[in-house]
Structure 1
Amino acid sequence: MDATFFAFVGLVIFLGILAYVKVPEMLTGALDKRANQIRNELEQAKKLREEAQQLLAEYQRKRKEAETEAASILSAAEREAAVLREDAKAKTEEYVNRRTAMAELKISQAETDAINEVRASAVDLALVAAERLIGSKVDGKVSNDLFQASLGDLKTRLN
């Protein structure tokens, strides 16, 4: 009997002991347990990935909504600014027109006042000239006759 035979017999006995102690079942059970654990981790990873994709989609949707809302707010602000510009322009034009009309009215009033003042001065000068002319050409008797005639004329007009 050779040493290889004894080594072979020892190996068979060792494998028999291992089978008796159920080492292969323990190894397969450990491997199955590890496989189940890996399978569970893969399922959890799938679920987490799906949740992450849903969150990403939700955040992208919210971002698009926010961008749309921002664009809406910006366009509303631009429209409001345009309305305010037009309103300010209209008010400025109205103010300028009103101020121009007031200035023209003041100028017209000043012209009227100047014309009236010139007329009053002309009347005063004409009265002074007429008084001097009449005073130099009319004596007391003619003046008394003119006064009486004017007084009579006035009485007839008043009645």
Structure 2
Amino acid sequence: MEQLLHDTNFWVLISFTLFVVLVFKAAKTAILGKLDGRIAQIRTDIETAENLRVEAQELLAQYQRKQRDAQNEAETIIANARNHATEIRKTAEAELNEMIDRKEKQLADRLKRMEDSAKAEIRAYASELAVKATAEIIANRLDDAGNARLIDQAIKTLPSNMN
């Protein structure tokens, strides 16, 4: 053993071992502190990520509800618009039919008036022709004495025809 105590390699080994042990003890706290800090940071990051994931899921659920509500509202609006369009179409058809009936009645009334007017014109023309023809016939067949007799007779019957 004495030889071992004088051997420099032995003392270098012991010094190196002692140095490593002391450095390990001193560095152990720092290394473990760093590792603990890093572990704490990782845990914090994981918790933050988990919280963000939960918030993201809540937001996703909220937006999905909003989308469903918006889709239901859009379907309701479309259904109401279709119903309103149907009502407008029915109203327009009823108004069109009413207008057509009114126009047909106006045309029928106008045709009736035109027919009555034509009949009146024809009667007036026929009466005028009859008067002219009668006057011509009377003028051709009656002499002055017959003409005087007709005038006297018309004058006599005039007061009775006036009542």
TM-score when normalising by structure 2: 0.79
Report the alpha carbon displacement of residue 7 of structure 1 after superposing the two structures with TM: 7.4
Tell me which of 56, 64, 70 is aligned to 2:68: 64
CA RMSD of superposed structures (Å): 2.5
The residue number in structure 2 matching 1:76 is 80
Q: What are the ranges of 5 or more consecutive residues in structure 2 without an aligned counterpart?
A: none
Report the alpha carbon displacement of residue 35 of structure 1 after superposing the two structures with TM: 1.4
Instruction: Say if 2:36 is the partner of 1:32.
Output: yes
Distance of 2:120 and 2:39 partners within structure 1? 118
Tell me which of 10, 13, 18 is aligned to 2:18: 13
The residue number in structure 2 matching 1:92 is 96
Report the alpha carbon displacement of residue 24 of structure 1 after superposing the two structures with TM: 2.4
Q: What are the ranges of 5 or more consecutive residues in structure 1 without an aligned counterpart?
A: none
Instruction: Say if 2:126 is the partner of 1:122.
Output: yes
Distance of 1:127 and 1:60 partners within structure 2? 98
Distance of 1:35 and 1:119 partners within structure 2? 122
Amino acid at match of 1:36: A
TM-score when normalising by structure 1: 0.81
Aligned residues: 158
Once the two structures are superposed, what CA deviation does each residue of 1:96-120 show, in whole Å capped at 9, x if it has no partner? 2222222222221121112112211
Distance of 2:109 and 2:52 partners within structure 1? 83
Q: Percent identity?
A: 31
